[in-house]
Structures are given as C-alpha cells and as structure tokens.
Amino acid sequence: KNDEVVASGLVCIPVVPDGVSVPLLSFQNGTNTLHSEAPSLNYSSQFFTLLEMVSSFGYVIAIPDYLGFGASSTMFHPYLDKPSTVSSVTDMLRAIREMTSEKYLDMNLSKNTYLLGYSQGGWASMALKKEMETNLQDEFTLKGTVAGAGPYDQTMLLRSIMDIQEYPMPVYLAYLFHSMFKVGNIKIALTDIFNEPYQTRIPGLFNGQRDNEYINGQLSTKISELFVHGFRTNPDSIKYVSLFEESENNSIEPWNSTSPLLLMHGVEDTYVPQAQSENLYLKLMEQGTSEAMVKYQPIPGNHLSAALPFTLFALKWMLELQP
C-alpha cells in the first residue's frame, strides 16, 4: 500500500578468490506461520544449514524472510500475495548486490540468477521467474528455476477443494483468505466464507505464535463444516466476484518462458494437487515455451515427504547447470 517496510532475510556468502564471478541463488521457503521459524532467526535449522553448505560451491544464496517475518514481524504476512512477494524478494536481491559491491564486501557478483522453492516457495519462484524474464532483464540474467508443488493457479485450487468432502490442511485456506482480507482487495467478509466458530477464530490464529498443527486443530477438515453453504454451493455468485478476481491476480499466468525450468510435484500430494504442476507445464508449452526449456518431473511422496527428494533433485540439477 505504498508504505515503506523494513524487510529482512538470510544471506550466505562463499569464500572465493578475489575477482571470481559468483552467481546469485534465491531460495523461497514454504508455508510458515511461526515468527521463530523465519530464515533470519532459524538459520541453524537442518534445511537452512544445507543451503548454507551449498553456498560453498560458489553461490551467493538469498533466503528472504517474506513480509510479516523477521524485521517486519509486526505486520501481517501477505500469504500468496503476488505483488508484495515479488517486490520484497527482488528488493532483497538488490540489497545483496549493494552489499557485495566494492563499497562493502567487494565481490564480483554476476547478474546470473537461480531460483528455488517448494510449496509457497515454488509459487513465489514462478512469480519471480516471470517478473525477471519479462520486466527485469537488465538486472537479472535468469539461468535456472526449480519449483515444486506450488499453488500456481489459486482459482483452480479453490474450485477443486469445493468438489471434495474433506481437505487435510485447512490452515492453508484460512491463511489465504485471512491474507486476502488484510490486503484489502476483496469486498466481502470472513462471515461470507467461514462458518462459526471458525470465522471468529481465524483473525487470532495468524499472530506468529501458532504452528500449522495448532491452527489445523482450531479449524475443520470437513468442507461442509468449514465453509458457509452459499460459498460451497454457489461460488460463482456475484458476491464472490472480487474474491476470485484476487485469486486470478495472484495466480501464475503462463507465458513463453525463456530460461531453464524444472517443475516437480509429489504424486501423492493431497495438500496441493499434482494437477497444479501438470496444468502449469502444459500451459507454458501452449504459450510457446520450448520443450528443451521446461521439464516436468513427478516425484515420490506426498506434500511433506516429497520435499526431501525435491531438494536433492533440485540442487543436483542446479549444480549441473553451473558452467
């Protein structure tokens, strides 16, 4: 909303000989509701430590906190909000360029950029990829992107959930709608979507002190209990037009992509259906993306268990791209 916000993140700097050119790798993390698990505070976690080790291969690695975490924890997290995600992450990458300049670290940071992310981070990486390829070519030379299990088409995801009786991660839905209302672009209230007691509970659940498991326990996995009858049975009502306009605006609109992309998705994923990646892959091809430029690879596991093979495949693929 045009207000200045101090954002933060974790940066990993490799030790390299003077003058050696190093690329930038930006990792976008998955859905998190805890302030204590922001990358800049939780840097000793096993996963972030792995990324820090990857930096030793000659990458400057950026791990943004996202707005609402770290230095900006006093504000809400605009979950799956494309404009704020793209602007805050690219601003961090610009700050890293300044940090590595002659005035500070005096490193030779090239424009070569890699993007990596899973779940929310997969969606964020694709949003960044499109922005870098279409509007930021002078700042970033995108060399490769790996995106896993992202909710790329939010409208498709919401409509698919209306067709099932139970959804195992209601925290994702509450987080998404809560964010939409806080951003302020939709013209309805929580009472138009959620039944009681959930419509009353939701605003207090996303305070940075509750994890996914706790929030799930405060909601219902049964769609008929969670959502009001009108939203479940008639989402195309004029009442919900602004909501689905917002979900469209925050979805990844396919385009003719011009840099290497590896899409991965767990074949047993019930949190974010595999159709999200399959659909994005096919639509990228329809927009003219070369078969040599994009690959779709199903991987074993569900949304949680597929994260490890995703990470190993992704890092191997990226290291092989490095000249």
- Look at residue 159 in the predicted model and tell me its pLDDT: 94
Distance CA 180, CA 186 (A): 7
Q: What is the pLDDT of residues 128-163, one digit of tens each?
A: 999 999 999 999 999 999 999 999 999 999 999 999
Cis omega before residue 197 (within 30°)? Answer: yes
DSSP E strands in 107-260: the ranges are 108-118, 141-148
Average pLDDT over residues 31-42: 96
**Given pLDDT bands bounded at 50, 70 and 90, which one contains residue 3?**
confident
- Look at residue 52 in the predicted model and tell me its pLDDT: 87
**Given pLDDT bands bounded at 50, 70 and 90, which one contains residue 47?**
confident
Q: What is the pLDDT of residues 9-19, one digit of tens each?
A: 999 999 999 99
- Could you give the strand order of the β-sheet that contains 261-266, starting from the edge strand earlier in sequence? 9-12, 60-64, 21-28, 108-118, 141-148, 261-266, 294-299
| Strand 9-12 with 60-64, pairing | antiparallel
What's the number of CA atoms in the CB half-sphere (13 Å) around residue 238? 0
DSSP E strands in 54-173: the ranges are 60-64, 108-118, 141-148
Output the pTM of the full model: 0.97
- Look at residue 51 in the predicted model and tell me its pLDDT: 86
Amino acid at position 300, single letter:
P
Q: Is the pLDDT of residue 22 over 90?
A: yes
Instruction: Decide if 223 contacts 161 (C-beta within 8 A).
Output: yes
Which positions ≥6 away from 319 have C-beta within 8 Å? 57
Q: Is the pLDDT of residue 306 over 80?
A: yes
Q: Is the pLDDT of residue 210 over 80?
A: yes
- Look at residue 1 in the predicted model and tell me its pLDDT: 65
**Given pLDDT bands bounded at 50, 70 and 90, which one contains residue 2?**
confident
Distance CA 90, CA 95 (A): 9
- Look at residue 46 in the predicted model and tell me its pLDDT: 84
Domains of the chain by start residue, with CATH: 9-153+255-321 (3.40.50.1820), 154-248 (1.10.260.160)
| Token code pair at residue 11 | 């940066």
Q: What is the pLDDT of residues 83-101, one digit of tens each?
A: 999 999 999 999 999 999 9
Q: What is the pLDDT of residues 211-239, one digit of tens each?
A: 999 999 999 999 999 999 999 999 999 99
